[in-house]
Structure formats: structure tokens, C-alpha cells
Amino acid sequence: MTAFSMPDKDKKSTFVKENFEKIASKYDLFNDLNSFFLHRSWKNSLVKILKKESPKEVLDLCCGTGDVAVRIAQVPSIEKLHAVDFSPSMLAVASTRLRSFPKAITEVGDAMELKTFASSSLDAVTISFGLRNVKDLRVCLREVKRVLKQNGIFLNLDVGKVESPIIGFFAKIYFFKIVPLIGYLIWGGKNEMFDYLPVSSLHYPGQKELKSILEEEGFREVYYKNFVFGNAVLHHGRK
Ligand SMILES: C[S@@+](CC[C@H](N)C(=O)[O-])C[C@H]1O[C@@H](n2cnc3c(N)ncnc32)[C@H](O)[C@@H]1O
């Protein structure tokens, strides 16, 4: 459906980082337009589940421009929120948005090596539209599990696979043909990052497979909630 091919595994992190650096200023607008603003309600659903846990210390990993972190920062139980991303430009937007939340700190860091976080130190870890972008999904999940306290929760929001063939057909056309065009329009020309986004979904496990991977990695209470016929999906797991 597109001529774009994924970067090799050893080049993926560099590709992802360099390209998010470039699109940081347009990222939130792109998300609003390509999802008809729906990503906001999906993110609110994640925060609603998180809130029920009354977490004190939370890590929002691959936080990007802080679009989820600003929501988490408003959870009343929060004492400390770490918003971590490896793109300084995305993080700069997050820092500005989180300025009025003193409990939130932004940190440059790699989701596959959470060097500054002690084992069993956090009540919750959240990732939104980030796991698909890491070089090695299982390595990232092991780091998430390592830094979580026993009983801590992991919430992961990302794209999913649509089960219905008919809806899936139209979803694919939209995701592969229209979404890149929205990106080009916002960007003011062709940009391979907007081709990468749909293609990366082909290399990311579907919701059932990700559930199995989470269970294999030792998470319990693994379940997921589909949004818009499975176009987006929120996974829950507990250490
Ligand atoms: C699609 S954006 C999601 C941003 C935000 N979570 C949201 O939902 O709006 C993905 C983010 O993941 C970050 N990212 C990708 N791989 C990463 C890694 N290995 N370590 C840290 N951040 C990473 C990118 O820099 C980018 O900001």
C-alpha cells in the first residue's frame, strides 16, 4: 500500500528519534486531525483507569509532547510524575505544557534502558503510541516490569488490528493513504515520517498477540479495551 519500508532494526532508534525531533512542533495538530480528535478520549480512558489505582509515583514513557502526562499530572494522588522521552524537541514541548505542574519532571531517557530508575520503585508506568516505536518491544517491557513495584500497573495505548474485514479494509485505506496526506499538508510537503507511522503498525503485534507477550513477560491481569473497532487499543497489565 506504500513504497516506504521500515528502517533495519539497528537503525530504527536513530530513525525514530531524528524524525520525531523534526515533527515535534506539528505533532499534536497531526494527532488531532488524523484521529478526528478521538485520541483525546482514548488518552482520557487510560487516565481514568490509572486514577482508580491512586498512584503516587508514575512514569509516562515515550511521553512525546506531554499530551498524556498533562492529564496524569492532574490525578489527585500523584506525588511525582516522570515524563520521559529520548527526543529533546518533543520533550521541550512537554516541559512547556507541564510548567504549571511542579510534581511533574521531564527527563531525556531511553525506554529500553531506564538507567535513572531503581527496580520496584514506581506505582505505574504508562506508554501511549510509543511501544510501536521502540527498537525491541520485549526489552522495553522488561524494563517497565523491572521499575514497577509489585502490584504496580502498566497501561499501554497504541494502534490495534481491526477484526472485521470490511471495516479493516476502509481503516487501511484511511491509515495508509489519508493519514500520510494529512501529515504532508501540515508539514508543507512529503515527509517519510508520515509514511513510517502506518507502516510501523504492520510490524507491531495485534491486541491478542500483545496480550500473550505481556503474559509471557510475567504481567498478570492482562486485558485490553478496543476503541473504534480495534483501530486503537489500551492494554492493562499488573506486575
Ligand atoms: C507517537 S509519539 C507518542 C507521544 C505521546 N505519548 C502521545 O501519545 O502523544 C512516540 C514518542 O516515543 C518516543 N520514543 C520512541 N522510542 C523511544 C525510546 N526508545 N525511548 C524513549 N522515547 C522513545 C518518540 O521520541 C516520540 O516522542
In a domain, 99, yes or no: yes
Gap between the Cα atoms of 87 and 60, Å rounded: 14
- Calculate mean pLDDT across residues 27-32: 94
Q: In this model, does residue 193 exceed pLDDT 90?
A: no
pLDDT score, position 122: 98
Gap between the Cα atoms of 78 and 233, Å rounded: 25
C-alpha cell at 198: 502506518
In a domain, 65, yes or no: yes
pLDDT score, position 182: 93
In a domain, 174, yes or no: no
In a domain, 171, yes or no: no
In a domain, 225, yes or no: yes
- Categorize the per-residue pLDDT at 8 as very low, low, confident or very high, splitting at 50, 70 and 90: confident
- Calculate mean pLDDT across residues 106-128: 97
- Calculate mean pLDDT across residues 186-199: 87
Q: In this model, does residue 104 exceed pLDDT 70?
A: yes
- Categorize the per-residue pLDDT at 1 as very low, low, confident or very high, splitting at 50, 70 and 90: low
Query: How many structural domains does the chain have?
Result: 1
- The neighbour count for residue 109, using CB atoms within 10 Å, is 21
- Calculate mean pLDDT across residues 163-168: 91
Question: What's the chain's average pLDDT?
Answer: 94
Q: Which residue has the cell 492532574?
A: 74
Range of the domain at 213: 11-28+37-161+204-238
In a domain, 85, yes or no: yes
pLDDT score, position 24: 93
Q: What's the per-residue H, E or C state across 163-217?
A: CCHHHHHHHHHHHHHHHHHHHHHHHCCCCCHHHHHHHHHHCCCCHHHHHHHHHHC
- Categorize the per-residue pLDDT at 238 as very low, low, confident or very high, splitting at 50, 70 and 90: very high
In a domain, 176, yes or no: no
> Does residue 47's CB lie within 6 angstroms of at least one atom of ligand 1?
no
Top mutation candidate among 35, 62, 91, 199 for ligand 1, by most atoms within 8 Å of CB: 62
- Categorize the per-residue pLDDT at 236 as very low, low, confident or very high, splitting at 50, 70 and 90: very high
pLDDT score, position 139: 97
Q: Please state which of the ranges 1-10, 125-134, 163-172 shows the lowest mean pLDDT.
A: 1-10
Contact (CB, 8 A) for 111 and 91: no
Expressed in angstroms and rounded, the spacing between residue 35 Cα and the centre of ligand 1 is: 17
Q: In this model, does residue 189 exceed pLDDT 90?
A: no
> Does residue 111's CB lie within 6 angstroms of at least one atom of ligand 1?
yes
In a domain, 172, yes or no: no
- Categorize the per-residue pLDDT at 195 as very low, low, confident or very high, splitting at 50, 70 and 90: confident
Contacts of 18 (CB under 8 A, 6+ apart): none
Top mutation candidate among 9, 29, 30, 86 for ligand 1, by most atoms within 8 Å of CB: 86
The CATH number covering residue 18 comes to 3.40.50.150
pLDDT score, position 35: 92
Q: What is the pTM of this model?
A: 0.95
Gap between the Cα atoms of 66 and 83, Å rounded: 7
Q: In this model, does residue 133 exceed pLDDT 80?
A: yes
